[in-house]
Amino acid sequence: MKLASIHKVLLGSVAFGTFWMLAVFPAVPFLPIGRTAGSLLGAMLMIIFHVISPAQAYDSIDLPILGLLFGTMVVSIYLERANMFMHLGRLLSWKSRGGKDLLCRVCLVSAFASALFTNDTTCIVLTEFVLKLARQHNLPAKPFLLALASSANIGSSATPIGNPQNLVIAVESKISFLKFFFHIAPAMLIGVVVNIVIILCMFWKDLSGKSKEDRIEEGVVEDEDVISHKFSPARMSHMSPPPEELTAMHGAPDMQWCLTEEELILKVSVYVVAIGMLVALLMGLDMSWTAITAALALMVIDFRDAGPCLDKVSYTLLIFFCGMFITVDGFNRTGIPSAFWNFMEPYARINHTSGVIVLSLVILLLSNLGSNVPTVLLLGGQVASSAAAISPGAETRSWLILAWVSTVAGNFTLLGSAANLIVCEQAHRSQTHGYNLSFWEHIVFGVPSTIIVTAISLPLIKEY
């Protein structure tokens, strides 16, 4: 695509820049409207400036991605109602040998969960839980929040349903679920281990908690409070919700399950449906409709008003993605991304090691300038077309490299991944265990972790 007219390029850049600024700094003094409103503002400016038409804006919204996110969030809500957190709390705390052991468990659990239920959903579900766990052991929240976000991002790379950009890649490339998994799983496993080592090295002295007796004397949260944790939806806002909203989010009495035979049947059904969803995905069925079908099946099996569960879905996150899709498509129509790729393409061919390095650097840069999903939307087709000229195997490898690097690149800065933003917002919003994870606190860890994990694991993604 050639560069558009000068006024379209300038106005499109202004709209995209507005979106980017509010995504990084949602509470800027002159426009403290938050990330969700910021994404809608960017989309609206694209239309007002005639960079994109209203019809094109609607067409740019990727419904399969929104459907997958919605479905997995609903399934996660029902899994929480089936006491998933109680079992998870026991798993993380069982015979724990201190902060270092606990951090390793958080990394492994979040990586595994993200591969199955997306990194965004994992971070939505686990952030406040991890805050409680850290406080229970009298440990600082920062290493655990960084461990959760970074491991969730790395773990999500292993499957097409692990994150939104992987879903885009799976749909566009038509790579099957199993093929995608077997190609990226080795890099993911090595990446998780390397990331754990980096976190332990950076926070070794901080990961030593006090004895249980000392924690009780200081009023630190106890086991029962951790395992009784309730799911609360992500709010893509820099403001904390009012107390009455917190009460609703953490569950009113009518949301609790009674200890009856009917409850046991329902709980078993929840796990059976969740496993069935994974089996269907492995069979190659449509990922979005599989997740939505599983969500609706759980609502029917529950046999009660689904409103309270649906209220917990993070609609602000879904709206954020809608605005982002429109903004990115508008920016793509300015021709700037295409011009950039045309300049870099001769140096980024994956049949040479230097080309793979250049391509990875380009993906890393763009993923942190405009997030990883927009990067895949902007570059995916062009990168694949360039690789297809080499061989069909090279085309498949280019998609997998794009999936791996764009996912790991999410750990570079807070803006690199929506999962990072979710952890940041959820932690800041918590009324009882809140922690403000700043942009700079994250980048001190994110830069070395991203570079080292990418460099060590990238050679494992080969052409088969």
Each residue's pLDDT tens digit, 91-148: 766 666 778 888 998 999 899 988 887 787 788 778 878 888 888 788 888 999 999 9
CA 310 from centroid of its chain's CA atoms: 20
Query: What is the reported pTM?
Result: 0.75
pLDDT of residue 88: 67
CB-based contacts of 218: which residues, under 8 Å, 6+ apart? 138, 210
Q: Which residue has the tokens 């009023």?
A: 219
* Exposure string over 335-373, b if 16+ CB within 10 A, otherwise e: bbbbebbeebbeebbbeeeebbbbbbbbbbebbbebbbb
d(CA 43, CA 105): 40
pLDDT of residue 116: 81
Neighbours of 275 (CB within 10 A): 11
One DSSP character per residue, 231-260 reads ------SSSPPPHHHHHHHT--GGGSPPSS
DSSP state of 263: H
Residue 247 confidence (pLDDT) above 50? no
**Residue 370's pLDDT band (boundaries 50, 70, 90)?**
low
Q: In the chain, what percentage of residues exceed pLDDT 70?
A: 84
Residue 253 confidence (pLDDT) above 60? no
d(CA 448, CA 451): 5
**Residue 399's pLDDT band (boundaries 50, 70, 90)?**
very high
Residue 230 confidence (pLDDT) above 60? no
Residue 227 confidence (pLDDT) above 60? no
| Of 442 and 151, the one with more pLDDT | 151
Each residue's pLDDT tens digit, 198-226: 999 999 888 875 544 444 444 444 555 55
Asked if 233 and 314 touch (Cβ cutoff 8 Å), the reply is yes
- Nearest-CA neighbor of 175 among 453, 402, 409, 361? 402
Q: For residue 138, is it left (φ>0), alpha (ψ between -120 and 50) or beta?
A: left
In whole angstroms, how far apart are CA 144 and each of 23, 107, 113, 430? 23, 8, 16, 15
d(CA 359, CA 323): 27
Each residue's pLDDT tens digit, 53-100: 999 999 989 888 788 878 888 988 888 788 776 676 667 666 667 788
**Residue 432's pLDDT band (boundaries 50, 70, 90)?**
low
In whole angstroms, how far apart are CA 217 and each of 89, 136, 189? 22, 12, 40
Amino acid letter, residue 164: P
Q: For residue 436, is it left (φ>0), alpha (ψ between -120 and 50) or beta?
A: beta
**DSSP-H helix ranges across 118-242:** 119-136, 141-156, 164-173, 177-202, 212-217, 223-227
d(CA 71, CA 286): 12
**Mean pLDDT, to the nearest integer, of 329-349?**
86
Residue 340 confidence (pLDDT) above 90? no
Least confident of 218-222, 241-245, 312-316, 377-381: 241-245
Residue 431 confidence (pLDDT) above 70? no
d(CA 186, CA 458): 10
Asked if 250 and 329 touch (Cβ cutoff 8 Å), the reply is no
Residue 319 confidence (pLDDT) above 50? yes
**Residue 257's pLDDT band (boundaries 50, 70, 90)?**
very low
Asked if 230 and 312 touch (Cβ cutoff 8 Å), the reply is no
Q: Would the CA dihedral through 338, 343, 344, 350 be positive or negative?
A: positive
Q: In the chain, what percentage of residues exceed pLDDT 90?
A: 27
pLDDT of residue 337: 80
Computed over every residue of the chain, the mean pLDDT equals: 81
Residue 303 confidence (pLDDT) above 90? no
Least confident of 120-129, 246-255, 266-275, 344-353: 246-255
Asked if 119 and 76 touch (Cβ cutoff 8 Å), the reply is no
d(CA 163, CA 153): 8
Q: Which residue has the tokens 């980024």?
A: 348
d(CA 20, CA 11): 14
d(CA 294, CA 75): 7
Residue 243 confidence (pLDDT) above 50? no
Q: Would the CA dihedral through 275, 276, 277, 279 be positive or negative?
A: positive
d(CA 341, CA 332): 12
Q: What are phi and psi of 67, to 5 degrees?
A: -65, -40
